[in-house]
Amino acid sequence: MEESGYESVLCVKPEVHVYRIPPRATNRGYRAAEWQLDQPSWSGRLRITAKGQVAYIKLEDRTSGELFAQAPVDQFPGTAVESVTDSSRYFVIRIEDGNGRRAFIGIGFGDRGDAFDFNVALQDHFKWVKQQCEFAKQAQNPDQGPKLDLGFKEGQTIKINIANMKKKEGATGTPRARPASTGGLSLLPPPPGGKASTLIPPPGEQLSVGGSLPHPVVAPSSGGASLSWPQPKPATADVWGDFTKSTGSTSSQTQPGTGWVQF
Protein backbone atom coordinates (compact mmCIF):
# COMPACT_ATOMS: atom_id res chain seq x y z
CA MET A 1 0.00 0.00 0.00
CA GLU A 2 1.17 3.49 -0.78
CA GLU A 3 1.76 5.63 2.31
CA SER A 4 1.67 9.40 2.40
CA GLY A 5 4.01 11.52 4.51
CA TYR A 6 1.18 13.06 6.58
CA GLU A 7 0.37 11.36 9.89
CA SER A 8 -2.97 12.10 11.58
CA VAL A 9 -4.01 11.34 15.15
CA LEU A 10 -7.18 9.26 15.49
CA CYS A 11 -7.42 8.66 19.24
CA VAL A 12 -5.51 9.38 22.45
CA LYS A 13 -6.09 7.64 25.79
CA PRO A 14 -4.10 8.73 28.86
CA GLU A 15 -3.98 5.33 30.59
CA VAL A 16 -3.54 1.79 29.26
CA HIS A 17 -2.13 -1.36 30.83
CA VAL A 18 0.05 -3.96 29.09
CA TYR A 19 0.00 -7.68 30.01
CA ARG A 20 2.07 -10.70 29.12
CA ILE A 21 -0.24 -13.31 27.71
CA PRO A 22 0.23 -17.08 27.61
CA PRO A 23 0.22 -18.86 24.26
CA ARG A 24 -3.23 -19.62 22.95
CA ALA A 25 -3.93 -23.33 23.33
CA THR A 26 -7.11 -23.51 21.25
CA ASN A 27 -8.78 -21.54 18.45
CA ARG A 28 -11.57 -20.28 20.70
CA GLY A 29 -9.85 -16.99 21.36
CA TYR A 30 -8.07 -15.20 24.18
CA ARG A 31 -9.38 -14.86 27.72
CA ALA A 32 -8.43 -11.86 29.84
CA ALA A 33 -9.05 -13.80 33.07
CA GLU A 34 -5.80 -15.74 32.44
CA TRP A 35 -3.55 -12.63 32.31
CA GLN A 36 -3.03 -11.74 35.99
CA LEU A 37 -4.92 -8.44 35.61
CA ASP A 38 -3.76 -7.10 38.99
CA GLN A 39 -0.10 -7.19 37.88
CA PRO A 40 0.32 -5.32 34.56
CA SER A 41 3.77 -5.45 32.95
CA TRP A 42 3.65 -1.79 31.86
CA SER A 43 1.30 1.22 32.09
CA GLY A 44 1.33 4.36 30.02
CA ARG A 45 -0.44 6.33 27.26
CA LEU A 46 -2.03 4.95 24.09
CA ARG A 47 -2.17 6.90 20.84
CA ILE A 48 -3.65 5.78 17.49
CA THR A 49 -2.30 7.48 14.37
CA ALA A 50 -2.90 6.97 10.66
CA LYS A 51 -0.40 7.33 7.82
CA GLY A 52 -2.05 6.70 4.48
CA GLN A 53 -4.16 3.57 4.77
CA VAL A 54 -2.26 2.05 7.71
CA ALA A 55 -3.13 2.74 11.36
CA TYR A 56 -0.56 2.56 14.16
CA ILE A 57 -1.28 1.73 17.80
CA LYS A 58 1.50 3.40 19.80
CA LEU A 59 2.26 2.79 23.48
CA GLU A 60 4.13 5.79 24.91
CA ASP A 61 5.41 7.02 28.25
CA ARG A 62 2.98 9.42 29.97
CA THR A 63 5.64 12.01 30.84
CA SER A 64 8.34 11.90 28.18
CA GLY A 65 6.31 10.48 25.28
CA GLU A 66 9.02 7.86 24.59
CA LEU A 67 7.77 5.01 22.42
CA PHE A 68 7.47 1.70 24.26
CA ALA A 69 5.98 -0.38 21.40
CA GLN A 70 3.81 0.04 18.33
CA ALA A 71 1.50 -2.21 16.36
CA PRO A 72 0.83 -1.41 12.68
CA VAL A 73 -2.73 -2.32 11.62
CA ASP A 74 -3.45 -2.83 7.93
CA GLN A 75 -7.00 -4.17 8.35
CA PHE A 76 -9.61 -4.34 11.08
CA PRO A 77 -10.82 -6.69 12.36
CA GLY A 78 -7.83 -8.90 11.70
CA THR A 79 -4.87 -10.61 13.32
CA ALA A 80 -3.22 -7.29 14.26
CA VAL A 81 -6.02 -6.47 16.76
CA GLU A 82 -8.31 -9.05 18.38
CA SER A 83 -10.91 -8.79 21.12
CA VAL A 84 -10.96 -11.20 24.05
CA THR A 85 -13.92 -13.48 24.62
CA ASP A 86 -14.70 -12.62 28.23
CA SER A 87 -14.49 -8.77 28.37
CA SER A 88 -14.96 -5.67 26.24
CA ARG A 89 -12.11 -3.71 27.92
CA TYR A 90 -9.21 -5.93 26.82
CA PHE A 91 -7.59 -6.62 23.45
CA VAL A 92 -4.66 -8.52 22.00
CA ILE A 93 -2.39 -6.60 19.62
CA ARG A 94 0.58 -7.64 17.50
CA ILE A 95 3.59 -5.36 18.03
CA GLU A 96 6.58 -5.01 15.70
CA ASP A 97 10.04 -3.57 16.31
CA GLY A 98 10.84 -2.64 12.69
CA ASN A 99 13.40 -5.44 12.27
CA GLY A 100 10.87 -8.13 11.42
CA ARG A 101 10.30 -9.35 14.98
CA ARG A 102 6.70 -9.63 16.19
CA ALA A 103 5.03 -10.43 19.50
CA PHE A 104 1.48 -10.58 20.84
CA ILE A 105 0.67 -8.65 24.01
CA GLY A 106 -2.51 -7.89 25.89
CA ILE A 107 -3.76 -4.34 26.57
CA GLY A 108 -6.60 -3.22 28.82
CA PHE A 109 -8.44 -0.03 29.83
CA GLY A 110 -9.72 0.82 33.28
CA ASP A 111 -12.70 2.69 31.80
CA ARG A 112 -15.13 0.91 29.48
CA GLY A 113 -15.66 4.15 27.53
CA ASP A 114 -11.95 4.28 26.64
CA ALA A 115 -12.16 0.79 25.23
CA PHE A 116 -15.20 1.77 23.16
CA ASP A 117 -13.38 4.82 21.71
CA PHE A 118 -10.37 2.65 20.86
CA ASN A 119 -12.57 0.24 18.91
CA VAL A 120 -14.57 2.97 17.10
CA ALA A 121 -11.43 4.86 16.03
CA LEU A 122 -10.11 1.81 14.20
CA GLN A 123 -13.51 1.04 12.63
CA ASP A 124 -13.94 4.60 11.28
CA HIS A 125 -10.45 4.63 9.78
CA PHE A 126 -10.93 1.44 7.82
CA LYS A 127 -14.38 2.51 6.64
CA TRP A 128 -12.67 5.52 5.13
CA VAL A 129 -10.02 3.26 3.56
CA LYS A 130 -12.74 1.12 1.97
CA GLN A 131 -14.47 4.17 0.48
CA GLN A 132 -11.19 5.45 -0.96
CA CYS A 133 -10.56 2.10 -2.64
CA GLU A 134 -14.05 2.13 -4.20
CA PHE A 135 -13.59 5.67 -5.51
CA ALA A 136 -10.26 4.74 -7.02
CA LYS A 137 -11.80 1.75 -8.83
CA GLN A 138 -14.63 3.86 -10.23
CA ALA A 139 -12.15 6.48 -11.46
CA GLN A 140 -10.10 3.82 -13.29
CA ASN A 141 -13.13 2.05 -14.81
CA PRO A 142 -15.98 4.56 -15.16
CA ASP A 143 -17.88 2.29 -17.61
CA GLN A 144 -18.26 -0.47 -15.04
CA GLY A 145 -20.35 1.63 -12.68
CA PRO A 146 -24.15 1.44 -12.63
CA LYS A 147 -25.84 3.45 -15.37
CA LEU A 148 -29.18 5.19 -15.20
CA ASP A 149 -31.41 4.14 -18.10
CA LEU A 150 -33.98 6.86 -18.86
CA GLY A 151 -35.10 5.53 -22.25
CA PHE A 152 -38.51 4.02 -23.02
CA LYS A 153 -38.65 0.27 -23.05
CA GLU A 154 -40.37 -1.69 -25.79
CA GLY A 155 -44.15 -1.24 -25.64
CA GLN A 156 -43.95 1.43 -22.95
CA THR A 157 -46.16 4.49 -23.49
CA ILE A 158 -46.75 7.73 -21.74
CA LYS A 159 -50.15 9.32 -21.10
CA ILE A 160 -50.74 13.07 -20.85
CA ASN A 161 -54.01 14.44 -19.52
CA ILE A 162 -54.87 17.66 -21.39
CA ALA A 163 -58.45 18.08 -20.09
CA ASN A 164 -57.36 20.56 -17.46
CA MET A 165 -55.30 22.41 -20.04
CA LYS A 166 -58.35 22.92 -22.30
CA LYS A 167 -60.40 24.23 -19.43
CA LYS A 168 -57.74 26.73 -18.55
CA GLU A 169 -57.42 27.91 -22.15
CA GLY A 170 -61.23 28.38 -22.46
CA ALA A 171 -61.34 30.28 -19.22
CA THR A 172 -58.68 32.72 -20.36
CA GLY A 173 -60.53 33.41 -23.69
CA THR A 174 -63.80 34.55 -22.14
CA PRO A 175 -63.88 38.24 -21.11
CA ARG A 176 -64.52 38.94 -17.51
CA ALA A 177 -67.50 41.06 -16.46
CA ARG A 178 -66.50 44.47 -15.26
CA PRO A 179 -67.50 44.91 -11.64
CA ALA A 180 -69.94 47.69 -10.85
CA SER A 181 -68.58 50.73 -9.13
CA THR A 182 -69.37 50.76 -5.43
CA GLY A 183 -68.12 54.20 -4.55
CA GLY A 184 -68.31 57.71 -6.00
CA LEU A 185 -70.99 59.31 -8.20
CA SER A 186 -72.22 57.56 -11.30
CA LEU A 187 -72.78 59.68 -14.41
CA LEU A 188 -75.96 59.15 -16.35
CA PRO A 189 -75.76 58.93 -20.14
CA PRO A 190 -77.10 61.84 -22.20
CA PRO A 191 -80.71 61.61 -23.46
CA PRO A 192 -81.37 60.17 -26.92
CA GLY A 193 -80.78 62.60 -29.75
CA GLY A 194 -78.56 64.92 -27.72
CA LYS A 195 -81.43 67.37 -27.02
CA ALA A 196 -81.07 69.78 -24.17
CA SER A 197 -83.46 69.52 -21.29
CA THR A 198 -86.38 71.95 -21.29
CA LEU A 199 -86.97 74.35 -18.47
CA ILE A 200 -90.13 74.10 -16.45
CA PRO A 201 -91.68 77.57 -15.82
CA PRO A 202 -92.85 78.58 -12.36
CA PRO A 203 -96.50 78.15 -11.46
CA GLY A 204 -98.70 80.64 -13.25
CA GLU A 205 -96.09 81.30 -15.98
CA GLN A 206 -96.02 80.07 -19.55
CA LEU A 207 -92.84 79.58 -21.54
CA SER A 208 -93.09 80.56 -25.19
CA VAL A 209 -91.63 78.12 -27.67
CA GLY A 210 -89.85 80.65 -29.83
CA GLY A 211 -89.05 83.16 -27.10
CA SER A 212 -85.67 83.64 -25.54
CA LEU A 213 -84.96 82.73 -21.96
CA PRO A 214 -84.25 85.48 -19.48
CA HIS A 215 -80.61 86.01 -18.68
CA PRO A 216 -79.43 84.80 -15.25
CA VAL A 217 -78.38 87.11 -12.53
CA VAL A 218 -74.95 86.55 -11.02
CA ALA A 219 -74.79 87.06 -7.28
CA PRO A 220 -71.53 88.34 -5.86
CA SER A 221 -71.38 85.78 -3.03
CA SER A 222 -72.21 82.75 -5.17
CA GLY A 223 -68.70 82.31 -6.59
CA GLY A 224 -69.76 82.79 -10.21
CA ALA A 225 -72.77 80.45 -10.10
CA SER A 226 -75.61 81.53 -12.37
CA LEU A 227 -79.18 81.76 -11.16
CA SER A 228 -82.17 81.90 -13.49
CA TRP A 229 -84.54 84.76 -12.90
CA PRO A 230 -88.12 84.32 -14.17
CA GLN A 231 -89.60 87.06 -16.36
CA PRO A 232 -92.17 89.03 -14.31
CA LYS A 233 -95.59 89.94 -15.52
CA PRO A 234 -96.12 93.44 -16.86
CA ALA A 235 -97.32 95.61 -14.06
CA THR A 236 -99.28 98.82 -14.37
CA ALA A 237 -98.29 100.16 -10.98
CA ASP A 238 -94.91 100.54 -9.34
CA VAL A 239 -93.46 97.22 -8.26
CA TRP A 240 -91.67 98.57 -5.23
CA GLY A 241 -94.53 100.68 -3.92
CA ASP A 242 -93.90 102.76 -0.86
CA PHE A 243 -90.34 101.30 -0.46
CA THR A 244 -89.17 103.26 -3.55
CA LYS A 245 -90.83 106.41 -2.46
CA SER A 246 -89.19 106.26 0.98
CA THR A 247 -85.65 106.04 -0.44
CA GLY A 248 -86.20 108.82 -2.92
CA SER A 249 -84.21 106.99 -5.66
CA THR A 250 -85.57 105.89 -8.96
CA SER A 251 -82.51 103.93 -10.06
CA SER A 252 -83.57 100.76 -8.26
CA GLN A 253 -86.88 100.53 -10.12
CA THR A 254 -87.24 97.82 -12.65
CA GLN A 255 -87.37 98.70 -16.29
CA PRO A 256 -90.57 97.52 -17.89
CA GLY A 257 -90.21 94.52 -20.13
CA THR A 258 -86.59 93.70 -19.31
CA GLY A 259 -86.86 91.38 -16.27
CA TRP A 260 -83.54 92.63 -14.80
CA VAL A 261 -82.84 94.12 -11.39
CA GLN A 262 -79.90 96.45 -11.09
CA PHE A 263 -77.77 96.33 -7.93
Give tens-digit pLDDT for 212-253. 555 554 555 444 455 555 555 555 555 555 554 544 444 444
Judge whether 13 and 108 are in contact, CB under 8 Å: no
Question: Which residue, 135, 145, 68, is CA-closest to 105?
Answer: 68
Q: Does the structure show a pLDDT above 60 at 82?
A: yes
Question: Which residue, 242, 217, 219, is CA-closest to 228?
Answer: 217
DSSP for 24-90?
Answer: P-STT---GGGS-TTS-SEEEEEEEEEETTEEEEEEE-TTT--EEEEEEESSSSSSSEEE-SS-SSE
Question: Which residue, 40, 17, 31, 9, is CA-closest to 111?
Answer: 17
Say what the pLDDT of residue 182 is.
Answer: 53
Say what the pLDDT of residue 210 is.
Answer: 47
Say what the pLDDT of residue 201 is.
Answer: 57
Measured in whole angstroms, the distance separating CA 216 from the mean position of its chain's CA atoms is 73
Give tens-digit pLDDT for 138-197. 777 766 656 666 777 777 888 877 776 655 555 555 556 565 555 555 555 666 655 555
Q: Does the structure show a pLDDT above 60 at 49?
A: yes
Q: Report d(CA 40, CA 59) in Å as an integer.
A: 14
Judge whether 94 and 71 are in contact, CB under 8 Å: yes
Q: Does the structure show a pLDDT above 60 at 134?
A: yes
Share of the chain above pLDDT 70, in %: 57
- Angle (nearest 5°) at CA 15 between 9 and 18: 100
| Backbone dihedral region for residue 30 (phi beyond 0: left; psi -120 to 50: alpha; all else: beta) | beta
Question: Which residue, 61, 66, 76, 63, is CA-closest to 10?
Answer: 76
Q: Mean pLDDT throughout 61-83? A: 90
Q: Which residues of 209-231 are buried (b: 16+ CB within 10 A; e: fewer)?
A: eeeeeeeeeeeeeeeeeeeeeeb
Q: Report d(CA 7, CA 74) in Å as an integer.
A: 15
DSSP 110: S
